[in-house]
Amino acid sequence: MTTFALVPGAGTDTWYWGPLMWELTGRGHRAVAVDLPCDDDGAHLEDYADAVVQAVKTGDGDPDDLVVVAHSFGGFTAPLVCDRLAVRELVLVTAMVPAPGESGSQWWAATGHAEALAAQDAADGRDPDDVVALFLHDVPDEVAAEALRHERDQSATAFEQPWPRDSWPEVRTRYLLCRDDKFFPEQFVREVLARRLPGVEPEVVPGAHHPMLSHPARLAGAILRPGTHG
C-alpha cells in the first residue's frame, strides 16, 4: 500500500485535500493530509518538513512506500522530506520549484511570475483583486465560498527563509501542470521547469490552481498513472 503525503500550499488547511483523499483511499491507498504550522512565526521550512514526517509516521511508523504530493508553496517543503524519510516519488501539483538559497519571496521575481500573471490577467480581463476568478473559477460558488473560509494566515518566516538544499533531491519527480490555472499559467510553468528541473516533462491535467477541489478523480488518476505507483 502506498502512503501519499499531501503537502498544502501557503495559508491553507487540510480541508482542501478532502476530495482527493477520498479518491486515493477508495483505490486502496493511504492518504495523509498534512497540517503545516503555516501561521507560526517561529516555524521554518525544516519545521514544515518535520510536520510531514510526523503526519505520515503517526500510527504505523515509517511507511513502506511513500509518495509526497506537493501543491503550490508546498514545493519548497516536499524536497526536504527526502532528507528525513525514504521517498519513492515527488509529485508536484502546480507547485513552486525553488532554486538553492532562494526564498519564497524571491521566487516571484526570479521566475518572472509578475509579468506572466499580468499577461494572463489582461488576456482574461480579470480584476486583479478577484481571487475567486484567479484561484477558484472552476468550482461551484458554494465550494469557492467554503474554500475561502478555510484560508489560514501564512507567516512570512518560511517565505523569507532561503531554501536550505544545495540541489534538487535525487528522487523521481513528476510535475502535474493544471491546464486552466490562471495563477501559474501553462507557458510560465513550462519555462520555469525547463530552467530548474530539466528533463521533467510536465503532465497536463484539468483544473485551475486547486484541482483537488475541481477534478479530484482526474487528479487521483494522474497521480496513480500506471507504472508510477506500488
pTM, to two decimals: 0.95
pLDDT of residue 61: 66
**Which residue, chain included where needed, has cell 526564498?**
103
Nearest to 11 by CA among 129, 116, 172, 156: 156
In Å, how far are 59, 80, 130, 181, 218 from 135, measured between CA atoms?
Answer: 34, 26, 9, 7, 18
CA distance 222 to 127: 32
Q: Looking at residue 226, what is its pLDDT?
A: 60
Longest CA span, the chain: 50
Domains of the chain and CATH, by start: 3-223 (3.40.50.1820)
Angle at CA of residue 48, ends 175 and 82, nearest 5°: 55
Pull the grid cell for residue 108.
516571484
**Best CA proximity match to 211, nearest among 19, 76, 29:** 19
What is the pLDDT of the chain when averaged over all its residues?
A: 95
The reported pLDDT for the residue numbered 128 is 87
Along the 230 residues of the chain, how does pLDDT read in single tens digits?
A: 899 999 999 999 999 999 999 999 999 999 999 999 999 999 999 999 999 999 999 877 677 899 999 999 999 999 999 999 999 999 999 999 999 999 999 999 999 999 999 999 999 999 989 999 999 999 999 999 999 999 999 999 999 999 999 999 999 999 999 999 999 999 999 999 999 999 999 999 999 999 999 999 999 999 998 644 43
